[in-house]
Structure 1
Amino acid sequence: MTVANVYVLPVPRARQRRPREQTKNNLSAQGVLDSASGTVSTISTEPGTQTVKGYYVGKLAWKLAAELKQLPALGSPLPVYGTRDPDAQGYYAIESVQTNAAEAPVADWLQEYTISLTRGGGRSSNYRAVRTGDIYQADHPFGNETTGELAVPAPATDVQWLDEETGETATASLVTTRSAERDGIKVYDAWAAPFQGPTLVYDLPYREEGEVDPRVWDERGVGSKTDADGTLQWQKVFSPAHDYAGERILDNGLYRLRFAPDGAGLSAERWDDGASSWTDQSLGASDWELSAVDVRRIGVERVDARVTFEDPTQSPTASYPLSLSAKRGWTDPLWAELDGEGAVPSGLVDLLSPIASEQIYDAVGEQGLVDREDVN
C-alpha cells in the first residue's frame, strides 16, 4: 500500500527510495525546498495491520512530521485514501507514529516517519456515524434555542437516524445547509429522530472527510495562514498536549476563535462566503478579558476547552471559567457554565454574546463507524 492521504494529512506518493541526506544547497538545487514532497514504502505485518515508512522533504518537512506524529491522539477511525491499491483504502485506527530528523544540516528539511495503522473496514461495510447518547442541556445565559443540531459534510448521502439497540432506521430530514470555508454543511435536528439517543449515519467519500471538521491551529507567530507562495504555514494540532508557539486558533470553517499566547487576548472572525474571506467579529464591550485557555479534547466532530476570564477592575481580581465546545457545522461556539461556579457574570455575558451559541441542547457525541449489517 502506498498511502497518499491519511485524513487531512498528505503522505505523498513518490519514488520508493530514501532521499539522499544532502546539504540545503543541494536540496535547493533539486527544487524540493519549497514543496511538501516525500516518499513512502509499506511493510505488511499481521493481517489488517500496515506499517508505512517514508520521508517528508522540503522547508516545512518538520511541520508535516509534527502534525503526523500527533494524529493518533485524534482517536476516531480515520480515512486512508489515494492509494495505488484501491482495496487498501478504508477506515484505519492510527496506532502509532514515529518521526526522526535526518542528520544536520538538513534535519528540518528531511524527516523520516513510520506509521502503524490497523484497518477497521471501508465504505462498503461501514457507515460513518455520529452518536448522540443522552442529549445534554447546557446552562448558559446566551439564549434558549432548542434545536439539537448535528452536522455532516454536504457531500454525505444516505443520511439516516439509527437506533443502535434495535437497528431501526428513519430518514433524516434536512433542517438547513450552510457554506463554510472549505465545503458545504448539512444540518439535522436530533429531536426530530423517532427514538431517543439516535445515531446519525451516512455515507461519505473518503476524500470529502475533514473538510468541515473543526480544527485547532498553532499560528506559530507567522501571522498569515499561508506564505507568499500560498504554502500553509499554520500547524494543524491534534493533541491537547501540544505546546503552542503562537495563537491557539479554533476554526470550524464558519467562525474562528483566536486566543493570543499567555492569555493576552481573545478575538473572533466569521467566514463571509460571498466574499470568500474571513472578516472580524467584534466582541462586546466589557471589563472582562481572557486569562487562560486549556484545549482538553480534539476530535473530528468537536473541540472542547476550558477557558478562564478575569475582571482586573475588581478588587481582588474576579475570575470565572467556562467550558467551550466548537462543533462541526454550528454557527457559534457553545459556552456553558461549570458546576459550582454560579451564574456567568453580566460583564462576561456582554463580552461573549456576539460569538456565543443560543442553543441549549448539546446533541454532539462522538464520531465513529457503524457496520452496515447492523442497519435494518
Structure 2
Amino acid sequence: MSTNTCGASKEAVELDALPVQAQAFHRRARIVDAAVREIAEHGYEGAAVRAIAERAGVSLRAFYSTFDGKEDALIWAYDVAAAYAIPQILRAIQAERDWERGAAAALGAYLAILDCDRDWAVACLRDVPAAGERVRAARDAVRAPVLKALETRGAEPAPVGVSTMLTAIDAITVDGLRHAPDQPLLARRRELTAFALAPFVDAPDAIAPRGAPSIRPSSPAEEIDSLLDDGAPGVAALELVVQEAASMRDGPTLWRVVVAVQRRRHSTGEARGDHVERLALDALGRAWFFGLALDQSDESTDARYLRFVAAHPGSSGAEVQRGLGVRHLSQVNRKLRRLETDGYVRRELGPGPANRWWPASDHA
C-alpha cells in the first residue's frame, strides 16, 4: 500500500469545514494508521491505546468513540488493507493465461504492495497472529478470495496446500522485514516464486517473474477539478468515477471529490457536484485511505513550525501550540518529534517538566 505521509497540497484542508462524514473518515483513518505504526514499533502487546491516540492526534474519548480498543482498530486495519490489496492480487492472477504464471504474478503484486509501507506489512503479517482469535478470523476471511482463485485455476494436487504455502511465504516475508529492513521484498521475487511453486510444478525456476507490477493509483485532484470544470458532462463522468471508487473502497478518490466540491462551493457559491459529493460521502464509511495525507502536513506546515521555533527558541510544546493555533498538543508534540528525528530541531528538558525546543543549529 502506498505510504500515508504524502499528499498533494490540494488535500490539505480545514477538516472542521468538511461534512461530518468526511471528518469521521479522516479521524478513523488517522487512528487506524497510528495503531498500525504503534503496533509495528512496540508489538501488539506493547502498543498502548493512549499512545495510539496521541500519535493520531485525538483524545482518548475520540478513540473510544471510534473503536472498542486496539484489537478493533487492528481488525479494521487488516480489512482496509485487504480492500486495497486483494483486488490488485486477483487482477494479477486473472491476467495470466495459466495457473503457474498467475500465482507468480499474484506473489509479485503482493510483495510490491508490502514494500510500499513496511510498518503496515509488519503489523499485518507479524502481529495479527498474536492479536487474538477475532483478528485471525478477520485475516482468514480476507485471504479467502485469493485462496479460492488459486485453488480453482487448475493447480494439481500437491503435498502441501495453497493455504499452507501462503503461510510459509508470510513467515519468510516477516523474517525479511525483521532482519533485512533495507532490502525490498520485490528483490526476492524470483527466489520466493521458485519456493512457492515448487510443490505444484516440475520446473518452478523456468517461470520467470515479469517486471514489477503496477500499483493502482487513485484519481488525482487535478482530474477531479477538470471534470467539475466541464459542467454537466463532466459531473456525469465524475459520477462514474465515484461509483468505481465506491466499489473499490478507494478513499483518496472519494475524499478528493468531497474536497473539490466543497472548495468550489465556498469559493464561487456554485452547487455543482452536490449529487456526486453525497455519493462519495456515503461510500467513505468503509473506504481505505492509503496515499492520503492523514496528518494534513506538507512542506508549508513544517516551515510554520520551524519558523516559530527559530523566532521563539526554547519554546515548550504548549507555547508552540498556542503560537500556531493548533488544536491538540499531541499533534504538536508528534510534529516536533518528527522534525527532531529529521534533524531540524532539538529538545532539552526545561526548568519544569516540559521539553524546550530549539533550532538544531542553535546552541544554548
Relative to the length of structure 1, the TM-score reads: 0.25
Specify which structure has the higher proportion of strand: 1
The normalised TM-score by structure 2 is 0.25
More helix by share: 2
